[in-house]
Amino acid sequence: MFDVAIVGLGPVGALLANLLGQAGLQVIALERDTGIHPLPRAVHFDGEVMRIFQSAGLADRIAAAARPSSKGMHFLSPDGRTLMIRRGREGPGPQGWVSNWYFHQPLLEQVLRDGLGRFPNVQCRLGTEVVALDETKDHVTLHLQPDAGPVQAHYVVGCDGARSLVRRAIGSRQQDLGLHQPWLVVDLLVDQNSKRARELPDFTIQLCDPMRPMTVVYVGGDRHRWEIMLMPGDDPARMTEPEIFWPMLARWLGPEDAVIERSAVYTFHSVIAEGWRRDRLLLAGDSCHQTPPFLGQGMCAGMRDAANLAWKLDLICRGLADDALLDTYESERRPHVQTFIDLAVKLGAVIQATDPEAARERDRRFASGAPEMFDYPQPALGPGAHRDGRLFPQPRLADGRLLDEAVGNRFAVLGRASSPPGMVAIEKPGPEISAWLTARDAIAVVLRPDRYIFGVARDQEALAKLTRALPSAPKSTVT
């Protein structure tokens, strides 16, 4: 009997398997494909996701396979004027890492799967499809194809994508958030000896051209991506043909400058499921939400799902918390991910404006001053297992370690306070954390294992109440 069965071993499933394996749970991951999909799909993750990779012990390996970026994302008018900029920043951001990273998904997935080799308690079965689920009071039986006998687990997490079998078993309803638009995605390996290729931008461009909206992404090395919106009259079956799309790229480069790695038409969706859990069945990633790519947050949302679920499943499977803790998963994560989807849809409306007069009015509005600057939202979690729900930053401590290196994947108390019963506090948290506490007139902050704030205490009594309210009281480490 496994503690957790994970259906789907893409990036979200592989990360969740690493986090649960690291916690010591008995895990089986089931994947219908026999190998990693060889072509690029997602290309961006943010500093919070790198912090999650850090918690899985994989950040250095992933950093070596990804490209840090400080340049942001530029929204351009058809004539090349900058309308908006999603801000970049030099050096580490609030999460202790560079805030934006670009990557080749097969390389990322290989690092995540290789990481599973650290854990004898994690079993992977490739080329194995889950075809049915039977639930009982205390476990789930998974029926497989090819039939090698059923598998049983106390919990099942569906990381099995937009056509999720687990979501169908739960009976979740899909809420449509309003965007369904086909785009052509072209991935190119550019000739780095080509003058035109060397002149390509090293930041992401959103070309807000009503005649043909496009996105241009420098992924890293010789990899570049173009995303091209399909327009009325386009034949989706022919858009992937080189003679159709090369003329659209002519302002940047031509067929002599690059080799085509992939061209495919995708429909960008904005949907979110209602019902991420039924008893012992749970959803994560694309199985419960799909985000348009205009913020580069689709995979990021799934990685946050994995981090939220991992510590809760760990406590429950070890008998340290009640099963009802899983009821806080959707209530916390759903409003959080919807904030990103809503912003991506709004940006999509800017990028995808195809009425020429409306686009000219948009450009006049933005051209009235300097380019509008914006950052990723930092929403708090929805209601759940916390009294606050904001993400706590990760500074370096006085001894040079990042905060999470000192704390580990557990609850922690940071601050100028006596240790409550059952907890060990980090009582010399360093100047950045001290300044954070002073600004809030607080003596301590209690962090969850996923580094979201459980609560802020303004005196010793309040701290005692917070720690008594924790789902369990495992000890943190001390610096």
Residue 416 has what pLDDT? 75
Using CA of residue 100, residue 389, residue 412, residue 409, what is the dihedral sign?
A: negative
Question: What does the pLDDT average to over 124-140?
Answer: 97
Domains and CATH numbers, the chain: 2-68+94-175+270-348 (3.50.50.60), 403-469 (no CATH)
CA distance linking residue 393 with residue 340, whole number of Å: 19
Place 164 in a pLDDT band, splitting at 50, 70 and 90: very high
**Nearest-5° angle of CA 459, CA 462, CA 467?**
125
Q: What is the reported pTM?
A: 0.96
3-class DSSP state of 33: coil
Point out which residues pair with 397 in neighbouring strands.
none
- Counting DSSP H helices and E strands in the chain, the numbers are 13, 24
d(CA 367, CA 77) in angstroms, rounded, equals 10
Output the CA angle 107-400-307, nearest 5 degrees. Answer: 45
Beta-strand relationship, 281-283 and 204-207: unpaired
Condensed to tens digits (0 to 9), the pLDDT of residues 29-64 reads: 999 999 999 999 999 999 999 999 999 999 999 999
Amino acid identity for residue 4 in this structure: V
Which of the four pLDDT bands, split at 50, 70 and 90, describes residue 234? very high
| CB of 219 closer than 8 Å to CB of 293 | no
Give the model confidence (pLDDT) of 355-391 as tens digits.
Answer: 999 999 988 888 767 788 998 899 999 999 999 999 9
**Residue 300 · residue 352 · CB < 8 Å:** no
Token output for 312: 């809760």
Res 309: pLDDT: 98
Helical pair 11-22 and 47-55, crossing angle rounded to 10 deg: 40
Spatial distance between the Cα atoms of 153 and 158, rounded to a whole number of angstroms? 13
pLDDT mean over 299-307 = 98
Q: Mean of the pLDDT values across residues 156-165?
A: 97
The lowest-confidence range among 59-63, 311-315, 461-465 is 461-465
The two three-digit tokens of residue 442, written as one number: 């607080």
Distant-in-sequence, close-in-space partners of 208: CB < 8 Å, separation ≥ 6: 75, 76, 77, 78, 83, 350, 351, 353, 359, 362, 363
Residue 85 has pLDDT above 50, yes or no: yes
Render pLDDT for 398-418 as a digit per residue (tens, 0 to 9).
888 999 999 999 999 998 766
Q: What are phi and psi of 109, to 5 degrees?
A: -65, -35
Query: Which region, left, alpha or beta, applies to residue 107 given φ > 0 means left and ψ of -120 to 50 means alpha?
Result: alpha
Q: Is 216 helix (H, G, I), strand (E, B) or coil?
A: strand
Q: Is the pLDDT of residue 476 over 60?
A: no
pLDDT at 475 over 90: no
Helix (H, G, I), strand (E, B) or coil at 142: strand
Rounded CA-CA distance 296/101 in Å is 10
Are 10 and 159 a contacting pair, CB within 8 Å? yes
pLDDT of 142? 98
User: Binning pLDDT at 50, 70 and 90, where does residue 421 land?
Assistant: low
Residues 447 and 457: their CA atoms lie apart, in Å, by 11
**What pLDDT shows up at residue 274?**
97
Contact 39, 190 (CB under 8 A): no
At residue 227, the pLDDT reads 97
**Distance between CA atoms of 382 and 160, rounded to whole angstroms?**
24
pLDDT-based confidence at residue 473 (cuts at 50, 70, 90): low
Residue 341's identity, in one-letter code, is: I
pLDDT for residue 477? 42
Instruction: Between 244 and 366, name the one with better pLDDT.
Output: 244
Residue 10 has a CB neighbour count (10 Å cut-off) of 23
Listing DSSP states for 263-292 in one string gives: EEEEEEEEEEEE-SEETTEEE-GGGTEE--
- The radius of gyration of the chain from alpha carbons, rounded to an integer in Å, stands at 23
Mean pLDDT computed over every residue of the chain = 94
Distance CA 231, CA 268 (A): 14
Is residue 244 within 8 A of residue 260, CB to CB? The reply is: no
Calculate what percentage of the chain has a pLDDT beyond 70.
96
Instruction: Give which of 333, 214, 329 is closest to 277, Cα–Cα.
Output: 329
Q: 189-205 pLDDT, tens per residue? A: 999 999 999 999 999 99
Which pLDDT band, with edges at 50, 70 and 90, does 474 fall under?
very low
SS3 string of 290-301? ECCHHHCCHHHH
pLDDT of residue 212: 96
pLDDT band of residue 425 (cuts 50, 70, 90) is low
| Arithmetic mean of pLDDT, 97-113 | 97
Check residue 200 and give its pLDDT.
95
d(CA 302, CA 248): 33
Of 113-127, 213-227, 423-437, where does mean pLDDT reach its minimum? 423-437
Amino acid at position 313, single letter: L
The mean pLDDT value for 259-268 works out to 96
Return the sign of the alpha-carbon dihedral for residues 58, 60, 64, 69.
positive
